[in-house]
């Protein structure tokens, strides 16, 4: 089903990302797969800035079990895009995030989708419940 593009105010956490030459594919616009690299980057940026993830050290890490995206308008290098993040749902050990990508000067999303992390033990890769402290920080952007 076709969604309606969200506006910037739907997303409490944001990360500006400089596009790269290679992001544009042969059709002259940012390739659809690159968008997902930005999804990963904004989610983990939030986790790192909130002391919920320290790469290579955290005992709990997020593994991606589902992603999806709808593309509304083209994006192109060399613009700086803005990735917006909101927590949609907090489960026992999983979190579903809503993410959108905004072109410079536009209020409506050029692409938007979801990203589901299951939090697991970094060694055993078995699911671990989302801690109270983590839940509290996630609720701040829900």
Of 134, 120, 131, 130, nearest to 91 by C-alpha is: 130
Spell out, one character per residue from 50 to 89, where the chain touches a second copy: x when CB under 8 A holds, - when not. Answer: -----xx----x-xxxxxxxxx----xxx-----------
Instruction: Determine if residue 34 is left, alpha or beta; phi over 0 gives left, psi from -120 to 50 gives alpha, anything else beta.
Output: alpha
Work out how close the CB of 129 gets to a second copy at its nearest, in angstroms, rounded to a whole number.
Answer: 19
Work out how close the CB of 3 gets to a second copy at its nearest, in angstroms, rounded to a whole number.
Answer: 9
- Examine residue 26 and tell whether it contacts a second copy (CB under 8 A): yes
Work out how close the CB of 131 gets to a second copy at its nearest, in angstroms, rounded to a whole number.
Answer: 20
Cα separation, 61 vs 54, in Å, equals 9
Residue nearer to a second copy on the CB measure, 119 or 132: 119
Cα separation, 45 vs 90, in Å, equals 18
Contact present, 64 and 94 (Cβ < 8 Å): no
Contact present, 141 and 115 (Cβ < 8 Å): no
- Examine residue 40 and tell whether it contacts a second copy (CB under 8 A): yes
**Using CB under 8 A as the criterion, which residues of the chain lie in contact with a second copy when the complex forms?**
15-22, 24-28, 31-34, 36-41, 44-45, 48-49, 55-56, 61, 63-71, 76-78, 113
């Amino acid at each position: 089903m076709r969604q309606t593009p969200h506006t910037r105010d739907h997303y409490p956490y944001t990360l500006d990302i400089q596009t790269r030459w290679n992001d544009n594919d042969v059709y002259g616009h940012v390739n659809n797969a690159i968008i997902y690299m930005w999804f990963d980057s904004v989610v983990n940026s939030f986790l790192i800035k909130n002391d919920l993830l320290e790469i290579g050290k955290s005992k709990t890490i997020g593994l991606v079990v589902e992603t999806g995206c709808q593309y509304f308008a083209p994006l192109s290098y060399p613009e700086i895009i803005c990735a917006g993040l909101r927590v949609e749902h907090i489960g026992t050990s999983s979190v579903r995030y809503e993410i959108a990508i905004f072109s410079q000067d536009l209020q409506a999303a050029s692409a938007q989708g979801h990203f589901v992390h299951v939090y697991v033990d970094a060694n055993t890769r078995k699911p671990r419940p989302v801690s109270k402290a983590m839940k509290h920080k996630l609720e701040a952007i829900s």
